[in-house]
Each structure stands twice: as structure tokens, then as C-alpha cells.
Amino acid sequence: MIAARTELDDVRLKGPLGRVSPVVKLAIAVMWLAGMALTLRILPPLFLAGAAIAAGIVLGRIPTRTFARTLAPLWIAAIGIGVSNTLFAASNGDPAATELVQLGPIRITVEAAAGGIALACRVIAIASVGAVFTLTTDSTRLADSLVQQARVSPRFAYGALAAYQAIPRFGEDLATLRQARRVRGLRGGWHPGLLLGVLVLALRHADRMALAMDARAFGSGPRTFYRPTHWSSLDLVVGIAAIAVLVVALAFGR
């Protein structure tokens, strides 16, 4: 896991997509997702997912194996969501709907299947765009870029960066608390006290972190930047290309 993260790191910084400003990539992702909401067709989300994956491999230089490992569970989840929505859709019980197939007691209608497939495609698109963004974006660069280019408050951006790094710690805390319950002879599983314990620890960690940040004069006045970020022509090119892709995708929806 740790080794994979550093391997990714090099890719994130080297590929052209890795050099694009994270703010631009974030804007593209939001724009695409908003664009998808304009249509209920199947092709536009699939086209966007395909474009994102192609961009991730060609421009992002994401190693195929890493990419596949990241996408596989997300896609499986997407298909699962599609299937369950097909099975439990209200239109299955609608006598006016066209029957597609009868599986024992379960009647599946064309309308339900279409809805399920459309939903699965959407989730696949969201997951793929999100994965490409994550796999080509370094979190430090994201924070720097948010603060410098998108004028996000440093307290929010660097606070979020610190919190993001603390995520593995919360997992460890939870594991330790569960072990602590076990040696006290208390049954395992999910006890509400565990959640409270993790919350208390997270808050205490955040407190200490805030103290450490303030001790280093955080928020004391205008900041300078160790890693300045600048807009580049690449940002413009990628931005325009992304708009073009969205327009083409929506054209499929007509």
C-alpha cells in the first residue's frame, strides 16, 4: 500500500494531467457531473467515463494495473447499484409497464431495467472521473492550488490536508478500541461507545494539531508560498478540451 502510494506519486507529478492545476481538474469534474444531470440517456455518461479513463491513461500516465485495481471495486459497486435498483424498482409492480422477463416471483419490466442501467452508467462515470482526479492529483498541490488559485481560506485547505492525513490514524484508533473492549471481556461488534471513543480521539487529535499549527504562527497574517502555483497554457488547453468532450457527450444524448 505504502509502496504503491509513492509509485503513484511520481506519476502524479510527471504526466501532463498531473501538471494541470488541480483547481482546473476539479472544475472539469464538477462541470462534467453537472452536464450529466442534463440527460437521462445512457451514452453520455459512458462517453464521459471513457474519456476520463483515456485521459487518465494517456495524459495522466496512470499505470494500468493501479488504475484497474482502483476502478474495479467502484465499477462492481456501480453494477450492484444498477441491479438492485432494477430489482426493486416501483415500475416492476406497474401492470401498465412492459414485462421484460419473469424470474419466479420477480417480474422485471423494461422501464425498470432501463432505469437501473442508466443509474449504473452514471455511477460508473462519477467513479471514473473521481478516480482519475484522485490518481493524478497530489494532495499538497491540491491544497496549494485551492489557496492560491481558487482563493480558498488557508485554514480550510491546510486543515483539510492535515485531516486527510489523519484518516489512517482513525482506523488504527478504532482497531485499538475494539481490542481494548475484547480484553475487558466485552463482546465485539459495533458498540456505540466505539464511535464515541473514536470521535473523542479525533477531536483531541484535531485540538493538538490546531495547537501545533498556531504555535507555528498559522493564520497570523499574510502568508507566502513555498510552492507557488501558476496558471499555464496547459490548464487552458485541457479546460477547453474538457468542454469540447462534454459538448460531444451531450450531443449523444439527443
Q: Residue 208, interface with other proteins (CB under 8 A)?
A: yes
User: Which amino acid, residue 176?
Assistant: T
Binding status of residue 204 toward other proteins by CB under 8 A? yes
DSSP three-state, residue 39 = coil
The nearer residue to other proteins, 88 or 164, going by C-beta atoms, is 164
> Under the criterion CB under 8 A, does residue 160 sit at the interface with other proteins?
no
Q: Which of 77, 181, 229, 253 binds other proteins (CB under 8 A)?
A: 181
By CB under 8 A, residue 192 contacts other proteins: no
**Residue 244 binds other proteins (CB under 8 A):** no
x/- track of binding to other proteins for residues 5-34 (CB under 8 A): xx----------------------------
Q: Quick one: which of 95, 105, 185, 192 contacts other proteins (CB under 8 A)?
A: 185
- Report in angstroms how near the CB of residue 187 gets to other proteins at its nearest: 6
Torsions phi, psi for 26 (to 5 deg): -65, -45
Burial grade of 160 (CB within 10 A; 0-12, 13-18, 19 or more): middle
The partner residues of 226 in beta bridges, in order of sequence, read none
Within 120-159, the residues that bind other proteins by CB under 8 A are 138-140, 158
Q: Which of 30, 211, 240, 247 binds other proteins (CB under 8 A)?
A: 211
Shortest distance (Å) from residue 65 CB to other proteins: 13
Which of 83, 213, 234, 243 lies at the binding interface for other proteins (CB under 8 A)? 213
Minimum distance from CB of 10 to other proteins (Å)? 11
Residues at the interface with other proteins (CB under 8 A): 1-3, 5-6, 138-140, 158, 161-162, 165-166, 168-169, 173, 176-177, 179-188, 193, 197, 200-201, 204-205, 208-209, 211-228
